[in-house]
């Protein structure tokens, strides 16, 4: 009996997505667990596995189609020898959604008499074989007009990765630039189509800035004691290969400040205020298409070593497009750190439905007054952006002062 394959909900908040690519073709046999398609959400490109087995009889939604609503029939699965219906079944009982899988699942190993890593994608395409490429690399190639058949993958088993596409894109840009020098085109402009992530970022931040009444509180924090403690910790952890960053210590300090002053660990709704017992810190990570905020859960209960290892893992998977929905949903407070870029101070936009976000700038040597004497200290400006519907100014200032005390007296971070 023919069954509908539906557009899956890859996260609790997903309402639509882009059908980036069909892995299976019409007429292909499908086994339970086979990857049949790649779906692009606002956070990542994820592979979708089949739940049932049969023959992919008809593809209803072509690859590249945007704004496909969740539960929309995207294909029809039939049994072997069964006639393929022209339209999807309308009976709800016949419709079976597909289950999400981890993004960037490793491709099956191709067994051959030669090293697959030495075979170019062009050779594979000429022989009618599948080109092994990650979903993120495929999307970047498509957006920049890079022919994947001309690439040689440097990943496992010759898999084409983002770095391979970026390298080819750079070479293409150089060639284009040379051609433009020889024959300049007046008023030329490059048009790059918005990714799903960029569209969602634009919509959510516009809603935040226009619908959430922001107010801002800034404070200067001396970092010398924290930096000295970090140096001692890293020396002690050197044999384990673990390295604590300033950002790791900021996450722990923010989590402890929220535990001690829980009035900011809240969310505003039209009917009630939500107070959270767990302190789940969303950390902003820059990725090629924009920004994602993976979450370190119960950060107040974790050691600096645990936070460091988890933060590093989440950031790496975020940049590789391998985050699963549970990795980035449900944070109660956000941190955006641009200190590594030498930024003196900035104000971040609140990440709804959270009530606040902390903007962390770089530490720099500044003149300070201590006991009436002029001295030099490493000082960082931290700016708190707060939803005034949920938090009043005095509470925001009190919380920021609590954070400053924790950072300037950092031994509580390791007790």
- Show which residues are catalytic: 388
| Alpha carbon distance 38, 23 (integer Å) | 7
**What DSSP string runs through 255-286?**
HHHHHHSGGGSEEE-SS-EEE-SS--EEE-EE
Q: What is the largest CA-CA distance in the chain?
A: 90
Other CB atoms closer than 10 Å to residue 394's CB: what's the count?
Answer: 9
321, burial (CB in 10 Å: exposed 0-12, middle 13-18, buried 19+): buried
Q: In the block, which residue shows the tokens 């049994």?
A: 79
* Alpha-carbon distances of 53 from 22, 37, 63, 93, rounded to whole Å: 16, 15, 21, 17
Burial 83-116 (b: 16+ CB within 10 A, else e): eeeeebeeeeeeeebbebbebbeebeeeeeeeeb
Q: Which region holds residue 330: left if phi is over 0, alpha if psi is between -120 and 50, else beta? A: left
Q: Please state the length of the chain.
A: 415
Element (H, E) at 2: none
């Amino acid at each position: 009996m023919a069954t509908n394959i539906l557009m899956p909900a890859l996260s609790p908040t997903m309402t639509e997505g882009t059908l980036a690519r069909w892995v299976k073709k019409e007429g292909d046999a499908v086994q339970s667990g086979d990857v049949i398609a790649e779906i692009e959400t606002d956070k990542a490109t994820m592979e979708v596995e089949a739940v049932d087995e049969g023959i992919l009889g008809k593809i209803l939604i072509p690859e590249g189609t945007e704004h496909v609503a969740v539960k929309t029939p995207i294909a029809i699965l039939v049994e072997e020898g069964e006639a393929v219906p022209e339209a999807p079944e309308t009976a709800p009982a016949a419709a079976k959604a597909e289950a999400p899988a981890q993004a960037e699942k490793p491709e099956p190993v191709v067994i051959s008499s030669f090293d697959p890593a030495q075979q170019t994608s062009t050779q594979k395409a000429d022989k009618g074989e599948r080109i092994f490429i990650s979903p993120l690399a495929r999307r970047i190639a498509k957006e920049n007009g890079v022919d994947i058949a001309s690439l040689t993958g440097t990943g496992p088993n010759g898999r084409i990765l983002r770095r391979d596409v970026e390298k080819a894109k750079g070479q293409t840009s150089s060639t284009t630039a040379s051609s433009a020098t020889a024959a300049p085109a007046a008023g030329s402009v490059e048009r790059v189509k918005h990714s799903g992530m960029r569209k969602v970022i634009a919509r959510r931040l516009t809603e935040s800035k226009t619908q959430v009444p922001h107010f801002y509180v800034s404070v200067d924090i001396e970092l010398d004691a924290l930096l000295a403690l970090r140096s001692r910790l890293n020396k002690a952890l050197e044999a384990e290969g673990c390295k604590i960053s300033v950002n790791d210590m900021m996450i722990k300090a923010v989590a402890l400040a929220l535990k001690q002053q829980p009035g900011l660990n809240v969310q505003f709704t039209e009917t009630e205020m939500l107070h959270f017992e767990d302190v789940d810190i969303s950390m902003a990570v820059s990725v090629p298409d924009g920004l994602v905020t993976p979450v370190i859960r119960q950060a107040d209960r974790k050691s600096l070593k645990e936070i460091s290892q988890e933060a590093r893992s989440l950031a790496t998977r975020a940049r590789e497009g391998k985050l699963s929905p549970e990795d980035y949903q449900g944070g109660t407070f956000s941190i955006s750190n641009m200190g590594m870029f030498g930024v003196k101070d900035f104000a971040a936009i609140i990440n709804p439905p959270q009530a606040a976000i902390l903007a962390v700038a770089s530490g720099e040597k500044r003149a300070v007054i201590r006991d009436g004497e002029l001295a030099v200290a490493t000082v960082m400006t931290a700016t708190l952006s707060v939803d005034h519907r949920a938090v009043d100014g005095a509470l925001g200032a009190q919380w920021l002062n609590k954070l400053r005390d924790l950072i300037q007296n950092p031994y509580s971070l390791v007790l």
